[in-house]
Amino acid sequence: MSDFAAPIAEQIWDMKYRLKAQDGAVIDATIEATWDRIAKALAAPEANPAEWEPRFRAALQDFRFLPAGRIVAGAGTGRSVTLFNCFVMGTIEDSMSGIFAALREAALTLQQGGGIGYDFSTIRPRGAGVSGVAADASGPLSFMDVWDAMCRTIMSAGSRRGAMMATLRCDHPDIEEFIAAKRDPARLRMFNLSVLITDPFMEAVAANADWHLVFGGQTRRTIRARDLWDAIMRATYDYAEPGVIFIDRINATNNLAYAETIAATNPCGEQPLPPYGACLLGSVNLAQLVADPFTDDATLDTDALADLTATAIRMMDNVVDASRFPLEAQAEEARAKRRIGLGVTGLADALAMTGLRYGAPEAAAQTGEWLEVMANAAYGTSARLAAEKGAFPLFDREAILAAPMVQRLSDVTRAAIAEHGLRNALLTSIAPTGTISLLAGNVSSGIEPIFAQEYTRKVLQPDGSRTEEVVRDFAVSEWRRLHGDAPLPDAFVSVADLAPEDHVRMQAAAQEWIDSSISKTINVPEDIDFDAFKDVYLSAWAQGCKGCTTYRPNAITGSVLSTEDRPRPAETEAKVVQLFAPLDRPATLTGETYKIKWPQSEHALYITINDLEVDGQRRPFEIFVNSKNMEHFAWTVALTRMISAVFRRGGDVSFVVEELKAVFDPRGGAWVQGKYVPSILAAIGGVIERHMVATGFLAGEGLGLKTDPVDPRDQTDVAAVTLPGPTCPSCGSFDVHMAEGCATCANCGFSKCG
């Protein structure tokens, strides 16, 4: 396993984690060099690095311990990036200066590669008075639009756009608007949304009681709690958001309840964090620890699991000292509590290899036993580190020993904590592992089930041709290696075989031994009854989960769970010509001219878009951008020439809309017809989009997503108007599925969450 188990694993490494110079020259010659780089960097904070570097290196060998992607990509590179995956930002002050100070901090954090979470509950509701300016507040949703526009333009660590989580309390007066925000598929696309659900609210739902919406200690409205619950359920049933976070349970079970109050999570929800809190993640690959797989003697080596956990905890603790931080407040928070989140990947594979069916009661029980071993090993190691290096600065012995998680640990572990303290306030979390699980040979991701036992992937070769390769789940590959084409055992199940209760059972079993939280998607069938859908959330609440995220295929987000062959673009009805050479310009064209009056500009812009008709379909052929303002002359001419050149090449040119609408002006955008537009270029993008919709080139606003068109050497006629589901924004593939709260591409490994 030192070598890559599958071509996709090597491609993921080369694309995301292999260290290269700015000019593209290779620095990490092999995956072994990558492991060497990481081990050396994480051993550097030790008093004797030479003692620990080989131990760290051994843990990385064979993909047994998988640090989170930020660490694999950034450790030992000398680059100014953070090794922490994500952050919860500071409390947003309910003032214009406070809000935009928070926006600036968010931009700086995203720029260095960290995802962010924010609680917008502190912003006064829409319509509330604003003293001193004789105006009404626009509410938290309007400012979330500003955050969304900013995030679109920030490339995290130079390679991907940032991810954000927004939370709002269930008693905020604007909660109903928040719940409905994602009904518009073009709005808040850079955010995951979750409602902070309190214990009193769940009690009011059960009693069908009134529920007060309050801000600043004043009740603004009163509604029925069950009506609000049904609105949340209906929204996530229809378009997969918002998620639900049981915030009172999170605070009640927090080891640090004596020192902090949590009101938000990181983008995927596995790390509830206080203001300026940061999540440091890593995963033990359970699939690599199974001895004698697929036999009656198959077992997971729990001694090896404990040893590997101990080494991983030490490595992750050192990351706190080795990492940079976008903000000093984040560094101070991390060093005061030294919070880390060690989790697992390959759980479903390990279960199948030991003959257990994912989701069955026996599998849930076994999952709990494995994670109990990890929890005691993690806390025991942290106690030994405290004896060696000192406890975390805010350690309170009496409060920590009384914490619910610590109460569940073994007597030996609790005695070590009582004697030495803890180096780390919290230690365990189960995070999304989309791309690192592919790196490890396509092991099942996190604690999710096997998505697909195998699938065919098309790979673009340097000469422009395409080849096909079979990508198999790790455990399936092991079975084939040992047993050839023999039928797979009954223990192999995939996401399509599971009932919602199977997912909840697994999440609840894991949560008992995880002190933070878990990123998991409960996949439900499209035809699930609405009342049965609501029962999934009530079951998660009853079984002790800290949150619940479901995914039901729907008209707004698409059907991203199917593993069946989908119709490729060529098989749908509408046609768009895809050519190498630009189209010839006819003598006359039909078009429209639009006026943009930008508030910050003295003169209006005039946008003329001319169309060409191909196979009965109007498509944009050229654009002219004009203004009397001579300061605009150079860039308007450049825009005219570049966009026209793109239009004339044919194909799916709707990505132009996406690129323009994502441009954020650091001087500030403007409110146009009640909607925040981040720049004048974004306004032009909006005009082009509306024109495309009016001519039938796009089915609706918000559908001009960036996708790479099908290679023109493969076919000349492709559909680009009505797509049969969402495509990967990186490679354009339709092989996208939802896991751990993240849209993940099985074709290229792209993950919305990293």
Q: What positions carry a catalytic annotation?
A: 266, 268, 270
Give the DSSP H/E element, type plus range, for residue 119.
strand 115-119
Token digits for 534? 């609501």
The C-alpha atoms of residue 172 and residue 434 are separated, in whole angstroms, by 34
In what side-by-side order are the strands of the sheet with 590-596? 590-596, 605-614, 617-627
678, 150 in Cβ contact below 8 A?
yes
705 neighbors 729 (Cβ within 8 angstroms): yes
Q: How far is CA 648 from the centre of its chain?
A: 36
C-alpha–C-alpha distance, residues 307 and 666, integer Å? 50
Distances (CA, A) of 678 to 105, 154, 162, 664, 672: 18, 13, 17, 5, 10
Residue of 99, 81, 75 lying closest to 89 (CA atoms): 99
In a 3-state reduction of DSSP, which class is residue 550? strand
Question: Percentages helix, strand, coil for the chain, rounded to the nearest 5?
Answer: 40, 20, 40
Q: Please tell me whether the peptide bond between 567 and the residue prior to it is cis, using omega within 30 degrees of 0.
A: no
Helix (H) or strand (E) holding 164: strand 164-169
Between CA 555 and CA 723 the distance in angstroms is 12
Q: C-alpha dihedral over 440, 445, 450, 455, to 10 degrees?
A: -50
Q: What is the DSSP string of 252-289?
A: HH-TTTTT----EE-TTSS-EE-TT-EE-EEEEEGGGG
Provide the edge-to-edge strand list for the sheet that holds 547-548: 278-279, 86-88, 115-119, 164-169, 191-197, 243-246, 547-548
Cα–Cα distance, 327 to 319 (Å, whole number)? 16
What is the rounded distance in angstroms from the CA atom of residue 656 to the CA atom of residue 663? 11
Non-local (6+) Cβ contacts of 563 within 8 A are 451, 452, 455, 494, 496, 737
Nearest to 432 by CA among 518, 311, 532: 518
- Phi and psi angles of residue 123, each rounded to the nearest 5 degrees, phi first: -90, 130
- Residue 581 DSSP symbol: S
